[in-house]
Amino acid sequence: MIPSKAAPKYALSLLLLLLLSVFAISTSAASGTNVSQQQRSNSRLDDISRAYGQLLSRDLTGTGGACVRNSDCKTNTCYQGKCFPNRGQPDQNCNPAGDGSDCNSGKCNSANGLCLASDIGGDCRSDDQCASGSCNNYVCTLRSTGTACDAGGICATGQCDTTSNMCIFKPLGAACGSSADCDSGACNGDGVCALQALGAPCAYDSRCE
C-alpha cells in the first residue's frame, strides 16, 4: 500500500468519482430508475473501483529512479525524468533535535531549526540547494574556473581571486592534481604547477619555460 503522502493526486479524483457514482446509484434506485440504467451504473462503479485499487497497489519508483510524472515516485517528486527526495530544502524548518532526515541535505542546523544546504556530492535540483552554490547533473559540485566565489573552498581549484571574486586557476608553484588546475596548463611530476616545456602547446608566452 502506498503511503498517503505519496499517493497519486489523481487517485483522489478517482475516489471522488467512486463516491459520486455510489451516490448516483443510490439516488437512481430510490427514484425507480429502470434496471438497464442501474446495471450500467453498477458496471461503471466496478470499473472505477478496480482502477482505483490497481492505482494504489502499483509499485512506485524510489529516489534516483526514472519517472515521467510526480505520481511515479514514492516521494511524489519527479524532476527532469528522475525521482528526488521530498524533504526540507535549505532554510526550511526542521527538527533541531533530530537526525537531519527531514532535510534533503541530511543536516538540520540545531541552533535555528533550519535545513542546511547539501555538501559536495549531495543530491540537488538547483544551485541554491548546494553549500557550494553549484549543482551539476543533479549533484552538488565545486565551482568551476570563471564562476563567482567568496571563498577559495567552493572553487574546484581552491583559488578564489579576492579582487574579481571569481574562481581562478592555480598559480605557478601551487600544488595541483592535474594540468587543468594550473593557469600555465601544466602540472609537473611533483604535483606542482609549472611552466610548459619546450615543444608543448601554449596560448601565451608567459606560460612557457
- Provide the residue-wise pLDDT of the chain in tens; the chain has 209 residues: 344 444 445 455 555 555 655 555 555 545 555 556 666 665 665 565 555 555 554 578 887 888 888 888 887 888 878 888 777 889 989 888 888 888 888 899 999 999 999 999 998 888 999 999 999 988 999 999 999 998 878 999 989 998 999 999 999 999 999 988 998 889 999 999 999 888 777 777 777 87
In a domain, 137, yes or no: no
In a domain, 132, yes or no: no
- Which has the closest alpha carbon to 118: 85, 144, 150? 85
In a domain, 43, yes or no: yes
Per-residue confidence (pLDDT) for residue 25, from 0 to 100: 52
Question: Would you state the cell numbers that stand for residue 99, as one nine-digit string?
Answer: 537526525
In a domain, 117, yes or no: no
In a domain, 123, yes or no: no
C-alpha distances (whole Å) from 32 to each of 18, 23, 26, 69, 139 are: 21, 14, 10, 44, 63
C-alpha distances (whole Å) from 2 to each of 57, 70, 94, 103 are: 7, 14, 24, 22
> What are the DSSP calls for the chain, one per residue?
---GGGS-HHHHHHHHHHHHHHHHHHHHHHHT--HHHHHHHHHHHHHHHHHHHHHHHS--B-TTSB-SSGGGBTTS-EETTEE----BPTTSB--TTS-STTBTTS-EETTTTEEPPB-TT-B-SSGGGBTTS-EETTEE-PBPTTSB-SSGGGBTTS-EETTTTEE-PBPTT-B-SSGGGBTTS-B-TTSBB-PBPTTS--SSGGGB-
**Number of structural domains, the chain?**
2
In a domain, 32, yes or no: yes
Per-residue confidence (pLDDT) for residue 23, from 0 to 100: 56
Last residue of a domain, which of 59, 83, 103? 59
In a domain, 66, yes or no: no
In a domain, 141, yes or no: no
Please tell me the distance from the alpha carbon of residue 51 to that of residue 62, in angstroms, as a whole number.
22
pTM: 0.56
Work out the angle between the directed axes of helices 35-57 and 9-31 (0-180°, nearest 10).
160
Per-residue confidence (pLDDT) for residue 152, from 0 to 100: 78
Q: Which domain holds residue 52?
A: 4-59
In this structure, the number of other CB atoms found within 10 A of the CB of residue 196 comes to: 19
